[in-house]
Amino acid sequence: MALFASADAPLRARRVCEATDLEIAPNSVNNTRLKLKRLIERGTSVETEQGLFAQPRP
């Protein structure tokens, strides 16, 4: 979540992979996207536009 807090704009799954030093491969990006979608379901993240993820603002 610190990654989202320090970002000045919503992030794509690929950028999250880069920031967390994960391999930039289609499988890794898709797995990260699925994890971000689960965070949306839990209310700890939001999808501002399709494919753009951010931390909810109070």
pTM over 0.95: no
pLDDT tens for 25-35 read 999 999 999 99
Torsion of CA 40, 46, 34, 14, to 10 degrees: -160
Cα distances from 53 to residues 46, 50, in angstroms, run: 6, 8
Token duo for residue 22: 């994960």
The per-residue pLDDT for 1 is 65
All residues at 6 or more sequence positions from 18 whose CB lies less than 8 Å from its CB, including other chains: 24
Residues of the chain with confidence (pLDDT) below 50: none
What's the token pair of residue 10?
């919503």
